[in-house]
């Protein structure tokens, strides 16, 4: 029997959710139709591969806003819930679904597609490139001391207060960082623990902080949990900082200083931090904030090169003509980018190309995380005019490192 690929129907919401859980090795069998419906919205952007009565593969996407260098946002698609049964792997199922969803995203007017890749080698063949990295840090709280304790007061708050105050802070932060995406009300309900997944109904066992400035306005927030550990009657507990975000450096410093001042703590672990994190530079000895990992986080697939590059800001003035090689035919073509700090245009052209850039390489470089001349030296693209890759790299640079701290 051939495998059918199609969007799910409203009456398949629970079956789809069960198939996703199987794909991610979650044996929980609790079903909640309302929850499943919200997490699978919009329905027509969620696909299944059907073999007889079985849903053997799942694939979801949803609309989002992606921040570009300079703070402009563009419509993007975000891919999630990608699973395939072991019995149906290497049969081209993902390829068929991915091709269809990318074409649909382009038709909807989305400028790019983004995802978080569980496996590095898979998504490059669909035109995605690793565009924003994330780091993890581990701090020796017994030794680390802040050089600057920041400004403002810290309040420990409940979930309802956090839900009310944190989203506005996040929205200000995401507009200052390329690579960040927006969060909807359902997402914030879950993060604030005012709603819970039926698969994990226990209350969240952590703490929430707000940082308020002198006028009482909220300028930052943090969420963290504590893993208690006592050894030989001595406290050796560990803080896991789930998220910390602030609209000002002073508020960010104040949040870190508070965490470093907590009693009974030996170690602070912080995941999902940007590569240009302030944290080490806020300490007397930056080595006490050891970087334990640095990984590709957000992958980006250009769908509309003209709009993608015209919308972002540029640190310097320049011009480059380049050919985008896109085997799927969605974003290919020859373009002239004329850019300056005052604005930019990106238009089709018949001029000779100075560079040939695979769409994967453009996706990796367009937010400013990796330079195009580095990719050229690594063999990711072809330079036809000497110095063109360096010139393009200077244009695409970003003064702020791209970062995405939203898992999806």
Which H or E run contains 354? Answer: none
Q: What is the 3-state secondary structure (H, E, C) of 77-119?
A: EEEEEEEECHHHCCCCHHHHHHHHHHHHHHHCCCCEEEEECCC
SS3 142: coil
Distance CA 396, CA 394 (A): 6
Are β-strands 265-273 and 112-116 bridged in parallel, bridged antiparallel, or unpaired?
Answer: unpaired
Report the half-sphere exposure of 212 (CA within 13 A, side-chain side).
11
Q: Is 408 a catalytic residue?
A: yes
What backbone phi and psi angles, to 5 degrees, belong to 156? -90, 120
Contact (CB, 8 A) for 290 and 138:
yes
Which two tokens mark 252?
Answer: 């960010």
Q: In sequence order, which residues have a C-beta less than 8 Å from that of residue 261 and are 6 or more positions away?
A: none
Q: What sign does the CA torsion over 215, 221, 224, 230 have?
A: negative
Q: Which residue in 62, 162, 170, 408 is the catalytic one?
A: 408
Are β-strands 218-227 and 207-212 bridged in parallel, bridged antiparallel, or unpaired?
Answer: antiparallel
**Closest Cα to residue 213, out of 178, 248, 184, 258?**
248
Q: Which residue in 35, 47, 123, 314 is the catalytic one?
A: 123
Distance CA 16, CA 7 (A): 10
SS3 219: strand
Enzyme catalytic residues: 123, 408
């Amino acid at each position: 029997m051939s495998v059918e690929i199609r969007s799910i129907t409203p009456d398949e919401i629970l079956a789809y959710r069960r198939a996703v859980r199987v794909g991610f090795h979650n044996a929980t069998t609790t079903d909640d139709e309302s929850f499943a419906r919200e997490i699978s919205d919009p329905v027509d952007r969620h696909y299944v591969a059907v073999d007889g009565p079985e849903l053997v593969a799942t694939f979801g996407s949803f609309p989002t806003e992606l921040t570009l260098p300079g703070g402009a946002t563009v419509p993007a698609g975000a891919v999630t819930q990608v699973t395939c049964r072991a019995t149906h792997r290497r049969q081209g199922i993902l390829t068929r679904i991915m091709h269809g969803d990318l074409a649909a995203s382009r038709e909807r007017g989305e400028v790019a597609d983004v995802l978080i890749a569980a496996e590095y080698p898979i998504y490059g063949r669909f035109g995605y490139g690793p565009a924003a990295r994330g780091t993890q840090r581990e701090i020796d709280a017994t030794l680390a001391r802040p050089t600057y304790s920041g400004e403002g007061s810290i309040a420990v708050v409940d979930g309802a207060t956090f839900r009310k105050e944190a989203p506005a802070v996040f929205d200000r932060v995401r507009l200052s960082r390329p690579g960040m995406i927006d969060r909807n009300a359902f997402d914030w309900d879950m993060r604030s623990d005012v709603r819970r997944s039926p698969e994990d109904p226990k209350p969240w066992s952590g703490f929430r902080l707000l940082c308020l400035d002198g006028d009482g306005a909220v300028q930052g927030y943090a969420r963290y949990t504590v893993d208690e550990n006592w050894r030989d009657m001595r406290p050796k507990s560990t803080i896991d900082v789930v998220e910390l975000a602030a609209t000002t450096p002073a508020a960010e410093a104040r949040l870190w200083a508070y965490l470093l001042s907590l009693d009974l703590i030996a170690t602070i672990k912080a995941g999902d931090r940007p590569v240009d994190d302030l944290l080490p530079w806020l300490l007397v000895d930056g080595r006490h904030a050891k970087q334990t990992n640095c990984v590709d986080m957000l992958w980006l697939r250009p769908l509309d090169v003209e709009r993608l590059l015209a919308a972002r800001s540029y640190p310097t003035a320049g011009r480059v003509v380049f050919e985008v090689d896109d085997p799927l035919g969605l974003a290919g073509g020859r373009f002239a980018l004329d850019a300056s700090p005052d604005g930019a245009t990106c238009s089709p052209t018949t001029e000779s190309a100075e560079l040939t850039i695979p769409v994967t390489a453009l996706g990796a470089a367009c937010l400013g995380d990796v330079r195009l001349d580095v990719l050229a030296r690594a063999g990711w693209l072809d330079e036809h005019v000497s110095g063109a890759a360096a010139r393009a790299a200077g244009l695409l640079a970003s003064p702020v490192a791209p970062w995405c701290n939203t898992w999806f």
